[in-house]
Each structure stands twice: as C-alpha cells, then as structure tokens.
Amino acid sequence: MLYIFRIVIILSAFLSWYAAASTTKTTAHTIVHHSRIYRHYSHINKHQGILHHTHHTLKHHHLTKLQELRHVRLVKHKIFHAYYGWEGTPYHFGGSSHRGIDCSAFVMKMYRQVFHRYLPRTTLGQVKLGRRIRKDQAKLGDLVFFKTGHNERHVGIYLSNGDFMNSASSRGVSISNLHHIFWKRHFWQIRRLVTI
C-alpha cells in the first residue's frame, strides 16, 4: 500500500511539472509569435508610411516644377511683350524715350515694367546690384555687362541660349547673342538681380 501511495505522489508531481512546462512553452511561443506579427505589421506600416511620404514628396516636387515652368513662361511672355514695345527704337546716348534710348535706360525701363523694380539710371550703377554668376549659369532676366571701350560699359537683359536684348549703338533696341565675336570679345560679367 505504501508503495502504491509513493507511485501516485511521484506521478502527480510529474504531471504537475509537465503541465507547467507546457504552459511556459506555449506562453513563450505565443509571445514570440506575437512579437513576430508586431514586427511584421510595424515594418509594413513603416514601409507604407515611407511610400506615402515618397509619393507625397514626388507629387509636391512635380507640382513645384510645373509651377516653376509656368512662372518662367509668364515672365518670358511679359519680357517679350515689353520688348516688342521698344523693338527698333534707335540708340541715343542719354536718351530714354521712343525717339532714342541708351542701353541702361532700356534695361531700367524693362525692369520697371516687367519686374516692378527701380534700377539706377547708369550701367555703372546697375553693375553694383545683385550677385555675380558664371556665364554658363545665366538665366532669363539676368543682366549681361560688357566693357566696350576704355571707359565705356554696356548692359543687356539675358534671355536664353546666349541671346540677350539690349539697345546697341549699331541696331538700336534688338536681340544680340553672346557668341557673336564682338560681344564675346567685350564680355565682362553677368549679374542676377531677380530669381525666376
């Protein structure tokens, strides 16, 4: 009888130990499983967040570029509209009317009409404005300066592809190009007064 009683006690103890071990294993497995699920969905949510942010950034960038192109197109339209009002006007040193106009007066009037900015009357006054940039960085609206003589300076408004509008002594208000031998020889600097 005592022998049977000892067997029952040992068996009970073993069953209790096995049940506890199984519960611990199941709990540990559940924790690991839940941890994996959490990491999986966290990764998905994080990835989706990145995709959403990237999509939003690209969309914003696309709209910004589109708005920039529209703005440049509008400014170009305004510049040429103003230019055609002066095209062919003869050059006259010191002049500032349709009877005759010099380079700095032409630039001054164009800037006032297109950009609503008041520039100095003289080329030497205008060359002190803005910041100097490289020729290959020139953009629409930049001022192009030349040293055409010992004490003579000339200015025009850059357009694109080397073209610039100016009031030249030879042709009056017209469009010239930086690659022309005369302008290439006398080129001085380019300055940016407005950002387009």
Residue spans of the domains in the chain: they are 81-192
Active site residue 154: yes
Is 166 noted as a catalytic residue in this protein?
yes
| Amino acid of residue 135 | K
User: Which is catalytic among the residues 29, 53, 150, 166?
Assistant: 166
Q: Indicate the pTM of the whole model.
A: 0.68
What pLDDT is attached to residue 68? Answer: 80
Contact 169, 91 (CB under 8 A): yes
**Token pair recorded at residue 3:** 């022998």
What span, in angstroms and rounded, lies between the C-alpha atoms of 98 and 100?
A: 5
Q: Is 115 within 8 Å of 151 (Cβ atoms)?
A: no
| pLDDT for residue 40 | 46
Multiple choice CATH, 81-192, 3.90.76.10, 1.10.10.10, 3.40.50.300, 3.90.1720.10: 3.90.1720.10
Give me the pLDDT at residue 16, please: 57
* Candidate list 154, 161, 177, 179, residue with the active-site label: 154
- The reported pLDDT for the residue numbered 61 is 62
Q: Rounded distance, CA 49 to CA 36, Å?
A: 20
Q: What local confidence, expressed as pLDDT, does residue 30 receive?
A: 43
pLDDT beneath 70, residues of the chain: 1-63
Helix (H) or strand (E) holding 63: helix 2-84
Kind of pairing between the strands at 143-147 and 131-133: unpaired
Rounded-to-integer distance, Cα 44 and Cα 39, Å = 9
Out of 52, 103, 150, 180, the active site residue is 103
**Residue 186 among the catalytic residues:** no
Res 196: pLDDT: 73
Strand 187-192 versus strand 143-147 pairing type: antiparallel
Distance CA 179, CA 186 (A): 11
pLDDT of residue 86: 97
